[in-house]
Amino acid sequence: MTGIPALDHLARLAGIEDGWWDFFGEWRVVPPETKRVFLAAMGLPAEDDEQIRASLRDLTSRTWRRWLEPVLIVEEGSPPPSISVTVPADCNMTEYQWVLEEELGIAHRGSLRPHDLRWGEEHEVDGRLVHRRWFDLPALPPMGYHRLTLTDPSGVSTAMSLIITPARAFVPEAVANPPGAWGIASQIYALRTPKDWGVGSYGALAELAEGAGRLGASCVGINPLHALFPSHPDRFSPYSPSSRRFLNIAYIDVESIPEFSECMEAKRMFASPGFQASLARVRGTPLIEYPDAAQLARPMLEALYRWFRKTHLEPGDERGEAFRDFQRDGGPAARNFAVFETLHEHFEREGNGYWRQWPVDLRRPGSPEIEAFALAHGERVEFFQWLQFIADEQLGRAHRAGVAAGASMGLYRDLAVGIAGDGAEAWAEQESLALGVSVGAPPDPLALKGQDWGLIPFNPITLRENAYAPFIGVMAANMRHAGALRLDHAMSLQRLYWVPPGLPADQGAYVRYPVDDLFRLVALESRRNRCLVIGEDLGTVPEGFRERMDRLGLFAYRVMVFEKTETGKIRPPAKFDTQALAIFATHDLPSARGWWAGKDIDQREKLDLYPRPGQAAEEREARQTDREAMVEAMAAEDLLGSGFPTTPALSDAQAVELAAAAHAYLARSAARLMMVQMEDVLGQDLQMNLPGTTVQHPNWRRRFTQNCGELVADPRMRQLAEVLSARAAKQIS
C-alpha cells in the first residue's frame, strides 16, 4: 500500500477521522495535507511513502516491543484482569518475578513463566519472533492507582499502571435527588470589593461564596483559575492558560496575605502617595487593566516574600512549616512549574520568552542544565512556589467560607480544554502533547467561520503511553478546593477538532481519543475528590456521548436559550434532562438583556465575523422567533404575561422581570442543578467573551459596578434566592 491509501490507513490508525459534517449539513473531506500535519504532530512523519511506511511500522509494532502495556484501566467490581505479557519466543521458559504494589504501599509478589500462561498471538519484530500471552492477576486491587512490575533474572524490569476506577462519578447529596440545588455563577475577575487592586481576587471570591451560602445557594461557579503568564499580564484569557495544574496569581488578595500586616517595607510602600494614587486609578477603571494591576501588585508581593523568607523559614515556625509541606506535597511537577516561571521571566528580559527558542539544554525539564539553573536561581524558584502557596491558601479559604455558610458544594470550578503552546504545561508535558497544531471548533451558530483557539491538545497516542499521568494531574489539580468541576468542551474526552497552523479554522479535522479510559479516569478523580463533574456538551456532540455521560454520573450542561423542541419551541421545564445543570446562557453569550437585544449579533456583524452576506439579518430574524418562543413558554407557566414585549429593547424593569421569569422557569425544570448569573438577575447588559475575537471586544475585562456585598444584598438577588431556596427545600414525592 502506497500513496494516499497508505496515508489514509495511517491516519485512521492514529485516530484522525476522514471527514466531518458541518453545521450546514455538508460533508467536509479532510485533505491529505491536513493529515500529514496532524500525523507529524503525533510523532508519525508522513511526508512521503518511505516516511509513511516507517511510521506504520513504528505505530503497529510498539505494542510488540514492550513486555507490558503502559496502562490498564479496570472498573471496580470486575473479575481480576488478564495482563498481556509480550516477550521474545526464546524467553518462553524464563522465570520472571512480578510485583503488584498497591497505591497505599501493600505489595503482592509472585513469579511466572510465559510458557505456562494462556496463549495469545505471535508477531515478528525485526526478524525476531515475539509471543503474547495472558497473565491472570490473582485478585483485583481496590479503587485507585497501582503499579505492576515484571523483572527478568538479569534484573531488567518494566512496569505498567493498573488503575481501578468506580462505575460512576461522585454525585453530592444536594443534587442526587429531586428537586436538587441552585448556585450563583460569576467571573472572579469581575468581582469588586472596597479593597481590591483593580481585579477580582480570591478574597472577593470568599466574600461572594459566604454571601451565596447565606442566601441558600449550594455552590458558586467561577471561570478557570489556571496559571497564566506573570511576565505577560496582557495575556489574560482564562481559557488560554500557561498551565492548568497551577493557579493564577493575578487573583491573589494582597492585603489578606498574613505578611502584609507584619512587613514594614510593604506598609511604607502601601502608604506612599504615589502608590495610593495608582491604586485608586486601577480600582476606578470601568474595564480591568491587567498590566497596570500587575505592575502595582508585583513589587508588593516581592517585598512580602522577602519578609516571609526572612522571618518564617526558621525550623519550628508554623507558617514556614506549612510552606515546606506545600512544596513537598507539590512534588516534581510543582517545582518544575516554578523553574519554568523563573526561566520564562529570565528569557523575557532578553525578549525571548518562547521555550522552544531557548538554549537546547533548557527546553526540557530534568536536564543537568535545568537543575544547574534552578540551583543558581533558587530564591527566585522559591518565590514562584510561595506565590502558588499563597494562591492555594486563599482559594482554599474561599471554598471553606462557602461551605461554612451553607453552600454544601462550595466552589464550582472550570477546566479549560487546552493550553498555550509556549506555556509551562507545554514545556513540562511536551511528550504527551501534539505540538504544532491547535484546538478549535468547526463553524457553528456562535462562530460561523469556525474557531481556532490557539490551544495545544494532548497527543492521544503518547498520552496513553505515559499512563495518562498529565491528564490525571490536571483533573486532580482542578478538583482541589472544589465541590464541582465543569469540563469546558467535554467532547474532548472522545474527540477534538484540530486545526493546522496557518489555515482557516474550517480546514481542520476531528481526532479521536481513548474515550473509555478518559471517562473512567474522570470518574475516579471525581470520587477521590468528592467532586461533581459537569460536562459542557454544547455544539457538535458525537453519537452516544451523552448516554455515556449519563451512565457514569457526569452532569450535562443545559442552556435555556438552546433548549428547543423540534418545532422550535422552548423545551418545557419538565422535559429538561434530570442529570444536568440548567442555566440561561454561558460566558460566550451576552447576559439575558443583551441576548434579548441581539447585542451579540450586532457585534459579530460590526467585526465581520459572518462568512457570507445576509447572515446577520437571518440571525436577527431567528432571534425574534426565539424571543417569541421564550415569551410563549414562560407565559404558559404563568411566569410572564403573554403581552411581554418581544422587541429587542427592554426597559430596566422589563429586563429584571425577564430574568426573574427565566430563572423561575429553570427552577421548575427537572435539572438537579441550576445556576444563576449575577448580571442576569440585576438586568445588566454584559458579554464577558465574544467568540472569534481577541482585542476587538473587551473579553475578560468587564467588572460589576457593585461590590460583592452589594450584589448578594441586592433586593432582586435576595428575592430570587428565596424562591430558589424554597424550591430546593421542597421534597418531590
Give exposure, 516-525, as e/b (b: 16+ Cβ within 10 Å): ebbbbbbbbb
What confidence score (pLDDT) does residue 160 get?
98
Nearest by Cα to 622 from 606, 604, 591, 601: 601
Q: Helix 32-41 and helix 3-14: axis angle, to 10°?
A: 50
In a shared domain, residues 219 and 105:
no
Final residue of a structural domain among 114, 143, 165: 165
| Cβ pair 509, 460 in contact under 8 A | no
In a shared domain, residues 473 and 599:
yes
In a shared domain, residues 705 and 567:
yes
What confidence score (pLDDT) does residue 725 get?
86
What is the separation of C-alpha 454 from the centre of its chain, rounded to a whole number of angstroms? 15
In a domain, 71, yes or no: no
In a domain, 378, yes or no: no
Could you tell me the pLDDT band of residue 730, with boundaries at 50, 70 and 90? low
Residue 372, pLDDT above cutoff 80: yes
Could you tell me the pLDDT band of residue 548, with boundaries at 50, 70 and 90? very high
In a shared domain, residues 133 and 46:
no
In a domain, 268, yes or no: no
Nearest by Cα to 353 from 454, 438, 230: 230
Rounded-to-integer distance, Cα 202 and Cα 329, Å: 22
In a shared domain, residues 145 and 180:
no
CATH of the domain at 154: 2.60.40
In a shared domain, residues 401 and 495:
yes
Tens digits of residue pLDDT in 556-576: 999 999 999 999 999 999 999
Tens digits of residue pLDDT in 621-643: 999 999 999 999 999 999 999 99
What confidence score (pLDDT) does residue 446 get?
60
Average pLDDT, the chain: 95
What confidence score (pLDDT) does residue 30 get?
94
In a shared domain, residues 151 and 182:
no
| Cβ pair 241, 432 in contact under 8 A | no
What confidence score (pLDDT) does residue 23 get?
76
Q: Other CB atoms closer than 10 Å to residue 110's CB: what's the count?
A: 12
Final residue of a structural domain among 165, 194, 223: 165
Domain hosting 133: range is: 77-165
| Cβ pair 439, 476 in contact under 8 A | no
Tens digits of residue pLDDT in 219-275: 999 999 999 999 999 999 999 999 999 999 999 999 999 999 999 999 999 999 999
In a domain, 548, yes or no: yes
Q: What percent of the chain has pLDDT over 70?
A: 98
What confidence score (pLDDT) does residue 587 get?
87
| Cβ pair 222, 413 in contact under 8 A | yes
In a shared domain, residues 12 and 108:
no
In a domain, 608, yes or no: yes
Tens digits of residue pLDDT in 77-111: 999 999 999 999 999 999 999 999 999 999 999 99
In a domain, 271, yes or no: no
In a domain, 344, yes or no: no
Give all strands (DSSP E) within 537-639, no chain letters: 556-559, 580-583
Enumerate residues 6+ apart whose C-beta is below 8 A from 158.
66, 67, 68, 149, 150
pLDDT (mean) for 483-500: 97
CATH of the domain at 188: 3.20.20.80
Rounded-to-integer distance, Cα 710 and Cα 402, Å: 17
In a shared domain, residues 425 and 545:
yes
Tens digits of residue pLDDT in 10-34: 999 999 999 998 877 889 999 999 9
In a shared domain, residues 28 and 118:
no
Could you tell me the pLDDT band of residue 731, with boundaries at 50, 70 and 90? very low
Rounded-to-integer distance, Cα 533 and Cα 527, Å: 10
What confidence score (pLDDT) does residue 444 get?
75
In a domain, 291, yes or no: no
Residue length of the chain: 733
What confidence score (pLDDT) does residue 733 get?
35
What confidence score (pLDDT) does residue 1 get?
64
Q: Specify the range with the lowest mean pLDDT, choosing from 42-51, 199-208, 721-730.
A: 721-730
| Cβ pair 513, 493 in contact under 8 A | yes
Q: What percent of the chain has pLDDT over 90?
A: 88
- The pTM score is 0.95
What amino acid is encoded at 409 in this protein? M
User: Pseudo-torsion of CA 309, 310, 311, 314, nearest 10°?
Assistant: 80
Final residue of a structural domain among 143, 165, 187: 165
In a shared domain, residues 27 and 151:
no
Q: 237 in helix, strand or coil?
A: coil
Give exposure, 425-434, as e/b (b: 16+ Cβ within 10 Å): bbbbbbebbb
pLDDT (mean) for 309-330: 95
Q: 683 in helix, strand or coil?
A: coil
Residue 732, pLDDT above cutoff 50: no
Rounded-to-integer distance, Cα 488 and Cα 509, Å: 19
Q: Specify the range with the lowest mean pLDDT, choosing from 165-174, 470-479, 531-540.
A: 531-540
Residue 448, pLDDT above cutoff 80: no
In a shared domain, residues 614 and 647:
yes
DSSP annotation of 16 reads: B
What confidence score (pLDDT) does residue 205 get?
98
Rounded-to-integer distance, Cα 692 and Cα 310, Å: 48
Rounded-to-integer distance, Cα 389 and Cα 395, Å: 10
Number of domains the chain is built from: 3
Q: Specify the range with the lowest mean pLDDT, choosing from 322-326, 550-554, 721-725.
A: 721-725
Tens digits of residue pLDDT in 667-692: 999 999 999 998 999 888 888 888 77
